[in-house]
C-alpha cells in the first residue's frame, strides 16, 4: 500500500520528486525561499577579503542588495561609530577617522614611563608625550628636509611602533602643518624676547634656491648674547618671486628687520657681491641709519 492510499492523494506533494535538487520546491521550478538562501550562501563564499590595513580597526558591515551581498558600512572597533564602507568610496575617510578617533586619541594621550639613565649615572623616569613627539617630528622634517606627510606613512609608523613606541599614532600632514605654525610662533616669541636684551646686531642676507625652483631671500642675525657667546639666528626666509632688483631686495630685508624690532640695532649688513646688492647697500644706509655709531655695509 502506497502513501496515497494511506493518507490521501495530496500526501504525495511532500515527497521530493526525482531529478530535482534537494531543497527545491516541487512544481515551482525555483522556490523563492530556497533560492534566496542559496544566493546568500553563494555570495558569502565569493566575498573578497579586504586587504587594506585600515580594516584592522573596523568591522565590515554587509547587506544583501538585489540578491547579492555587498559591503555597505564600516564600524569603528574603538568608538563604535558607523561610517560608509562601500567599495566604491575607498578607505581614505576611514584612515582619517583613525587619526581623530576619540578613543584612540585618549589611549595615545596616556603617558608611558620607563627608567632612563642620566649622564652622571643617576636614573629618572622618561615619559612619552604625544605633543612632544609631534614637535620633534616637525624639527626632524625641517632639519632633514623630509616630506611633510612622513608622519602618516606606513613605513614611518612601522619603524616607530616597532623600535620606539608601540602606541605611536600616525600624524596627518594637516596636523603637522598646524604643528609647524605653532612651533614657529613659539620659537619666534623666544627669539624676540632674546633680542630685546641685545644692543647691536649684524645681518647677512643671501638668496637661496629650493628643489621646486623657488627663490627665497634669507635674513640672518649675528649677535653676542648675555653670556658673551656668539649667536647666529635665521630671522626670516621671504619668497622672492619677482625680479631680483634693488627695490625688491631692500623691501624684503627691511621688512624682516622691522618684524623683530631691530631697525635701530643694526650696525653691519653683508650681502653677496652682485650689482643689485651693491645698489641695495646704498639704500639700506639710509633706512638703517638709526644705529648710534658707524653703520658698516659691505
Note whether residue 15 is domain-resident.
Answer: no
Q: Summarize pLDDT for 108-149 with one digit per residue, the tens.
A: 655 455 666 677 777 666 677 888 899 999 999 999 989 999
Q: Give every CB contact of residue 178 below 8 A, 6+ residues apart in sequence.
A: none
Note whether residue 26 is domain-resident.
Answer: no
Q: List beta partners, residue 62.
A: 71
Is 114 found in the same domain as 99? Answer: no
Contact 260, 235 (CB under 8 A): yes
User: 211: domain CATH number?
Assistant: 3.30.420
Note whether residue 236 is domain-resident.
Answer: yes
Q: List beta partners, residue 60.
A: 74
| Per-residue pLDDT at 66 | 87
Note whether residue 275 is domain-resident.
Answer: yes
| Per-residue pLDDT at 77 | 92
Note whether residue 189 is domain-resident.
Answer: no
- How many Å apart are CA 73 and CA 70, to the nearest integer? 9
Is 292 found in the same domain as 231? Answer: yes
| Per-residue pLDDT at 172 | 93
Is 284 found in the same domain as 213? Answer: yes
Q: In the chain, which stretches have pLDDT less than 70? A: 1-49, 107-117, 123-126, 289-298
Among the three residues 108, 136, 163, which one is the final residue of a domain in this structure?
A: 108
Is 139 found in the same domain as 96? Answer: no
The H or E element that residue 280 is part of is helix 275-287
DSSP character for 133? H
| Per-residue pLDDT at 143 | 92
Helix locations, 70-128, DSSP H = 92-100, 102-109
Crossing angle of helices 173-195 and 130-144, in 10° steps, is 80
14's torsion region: left (phi>0), alpha (psi -120 to 50) or beta?
Answer: alpha
- How many Å apart are CA 281 and CA 296, to the nearest integer? 10
Is 239 found in the same domain as 162? Answer: no
Terminal-to-terminal C-alpha distance of the chain: 124
DSSP string, 194-248: HHTT-S-EEEEEEEEE-TTS-EEEEEEEEEE-TTS-EEEEEEEEEE--S---HHH
User: pTM above 0.85?
Assistant: no
Note whether residue 31 is domain-resident.
Answer: no
Is 256 found in the same domain as 220? Answer: yes
Is 259 found in the same domain as 205? Answer: yes
User: Rounded to whole angstroms, what are the CA distances from 212 to 55, 66, 191, 208, 215?
Assistant: 37, 52, 29, 12, 9
Is 139 found in the same domain as 99? Answer: no
> What total number of domains does the chain contain?
3
Q: Compute, in degrees rounded to 10, the torsion defined by CA atoms 135, 140, 192, 288.
A: -150
The H or E element that residue 132 is part of is helix 130-144
| Per-residue pLDDT at 114 | 60
Note whether residue 9 is domain-resident.
Answer: no
Is 130 found in the same domain as 221? Answer: no
Note whether residue 5 is domain-resident.
Answer: no
Is 172 found in the same domain as 205? Answer: no
| Per-residue pLDDT at 28 | 43
Is 249 found in the same domain as 260? Answer: yes
Range(s) of the domain holding residue 168: 110-118+126-181
Is 216 found in the same domain as 263? Answer: yes
| Per-residue pLDDT at 135 | 94
Amino acid at each position: 500500500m502506497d502513501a496515497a492510499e494511506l493518507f490521501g492523494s495530496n500526501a504525495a506533494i511532500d515527497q521530493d520528486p526525482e531529478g530535482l535538487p534537494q531543497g527545491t520546491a516541487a512544481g515551482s521550478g525555483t522556490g523563492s525561499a530556497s533560492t534566496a538562501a542559496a544566493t546568500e550562501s553563494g555570495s558569502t563564499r565569493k566575498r573578497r577579503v579586504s586587504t587594506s590595513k585600515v580594516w584592522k580597526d573596523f568591522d565590515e558591515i554587509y547587506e544583501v542588495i538585489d540578491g547579492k551581498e555587498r559591503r555597505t558600512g564600516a564600524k569603528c572597533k574603538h568608538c563604535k561609530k558607523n561610517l560608509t564602507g562601500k567599495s566604491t568610496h575607498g578607505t581614505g575617510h576611514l584612515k582619517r577617522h583613525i587619526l581623530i578617533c576619540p578613543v584612540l586619541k585618549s589611549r595615545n594621550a596616556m603617558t608611558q614611563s620607563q627608567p632612563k639613565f642620566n649622564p652622571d649615572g643617576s636614573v629618572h623616569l622618561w615619559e612619552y608625550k604625544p605633543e612632544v613627539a609631534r614637535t620633534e617630528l616637525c624639527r626632524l622634517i625641517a632639519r632633514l628636509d623630509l616630506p611633510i606627510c612622513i608622519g602618516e606613512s606606513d613605513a614611518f609608523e612601522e619603524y616607530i611602533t616597532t623600535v620606539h613606541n608601540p602606541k605611536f599614532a600616525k600624524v596627518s600632514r594637516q596636523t603637522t602643518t598646524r604643528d609647524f605654525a605653532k612651533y614657529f610662533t613659539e620659537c619666534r616669541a623666544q627669539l624676540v624676547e632674546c633680542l630685546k636684551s641685545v644692543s647691536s646686531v649684524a645681518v647677512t642676507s643671501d638668496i637661496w634656491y629650493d628643489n621646486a625652483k623657488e627663490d627665497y631671500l634669507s635674513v640672518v642675525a649675528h649677535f653676542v648674547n648675555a653670556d658673551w657667546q656668539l649667536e647666529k639666528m635665521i630671522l626670516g626666509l621671504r619668497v622672492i618671486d619677482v625680479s631680483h632688483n634693488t627695490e625688491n631686495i631692500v623691501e624684503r630685508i627691511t621688512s624682516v628687520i622691522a618684524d623683530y624690532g631691530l631697525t635701530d640695532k643694526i650696525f653691519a649688513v653683508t650681502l653677496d657681491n652682485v650689482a643689485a646688492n651693491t645698489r641695495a647697500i646704498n639704500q639700506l644706509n639710509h633706512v638703517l641709519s638709526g644705529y648710534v655709531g658707524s653703520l658698516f655695509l659691505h
